[in-house]
Structure 1
Amino acid sequence: MTASQPPPLEAVAGDITTQRVDAVVNAANTSLLGGGGVDGAIHRAAGPSLLAECQELRRTRYPAGLPVGEAVATGAGDLPCRWVIHTVGPNRRAGQTDPAMLASCFESSLREAVRVGARSVAFPAISAGIYGWDIEEVARMAVDTVGGSDLLDHLSTVRFVLFGREALAAFESRLSARSA
Structure 2
Amino acid sequence: MIRVWQGDITTLDVDAIVNAANASLLGGGGVDGAIHRAAGPGLLAECRTLGGCPTGEARITGGHKLKARHVIHTVGPVWKGGDAGEAELLASAYRNSLALAREHGLTSIAFPAISTGIYGFPADQAARIAATTIRDHGDGLTVTLVAFDSATAQLLAEALS
Partner SS state of residue 148, structure 1: helix
Find 1:138's aligned residue among 126, 134, 143.
126
Percent pairwise identity: 51
Q: Distance between the aligned counterparts of 1:125 and 1:79, measured in 2?
A: 19
Q: When the two structures are superposed, what TM-score results if normalisation uses the length of structure 2?
A: 0.95
Instruction: Note the C-alpha offset of 1:97.
Output: 4.6
Amino acid at match of 1:27: A
Any idea what the Cα deviations from partners look like across 1:51-106, whole Å, max 9, x if unmatched? 00000112xxxxxx310000010001100011000000001159855210000000
Whether the 8 Å contact between 1:68 and 1:88 is mirrored in structure 2 is: yes
Q: Please list every run of at least 4 consecutive aligned residues from structure 1 whose deviation after the TM superposition is greater than 3 angstroms.
A: 93-97
Find 1:104's aligned residue among 71, 89, 92.
92
Residue 29 of structure 2 is aligned to residue 41 of structure 1: no
Q: Provide closer, same or farther for how the CA distance between residues 126 and 96 of structure 1 changes in structure 2, counting only shifts above 3 A.
A: farther
Aligned pair count? Answer: 160
Find 1:83's aligned residue among 51, 66, 70.
70
Q: Provide closer, same or farther for how the CA distance between residues 96 and 15 of structure 1 changes in structure 2, counting only shifts above 3 A.
A: farther
Whether the 8 Å contact between 1:73 and 1:86 is mirrored in structure 2 is: yes
Q: Provide closer, same or farther for how the CA distance between residues 173 and 87 of structure 1 changes in structure 2, counting only shifts above 3 A.
A: same
Aligned to 2:143: 158
Larger radius of gyration: 1
Aligned to 1:147: 135
Q: When the two structures are superposed, what TM-score results if normalisation uses the length of structure 1?
A: 0.85
Residue 42 of structure 2 is aligned to residue 30 of structure 1: no
Partner SS state of residue 115, structure 2: coil
Q: Distance between the aligned counterparts of 1:166 and 1:76, measured in 2?
A: 28
Amino acid at match of 2:14: V
Q: Distance between the aligned counterparts of 2:80 and 2:30, measured in 1?
A: 16
Higher helix share: 1
Amino acid at match of 1:81: A
Please, which runs of 5 or more residues in structure 1 have no aligned partner?
1-7, 59-64
Instruction: Note the C-alpha offset of 1:148.
Output: 1.1
Residue 135 of structure 2 is aligned to residue 168 of structure 1: no
Aligned to 1:3: none
Instruction: Note the C-alpha offset of 1:117.
Output: 1.5
Please, which runs of 5 or more residues in structure 2 have no aligned partner?
none
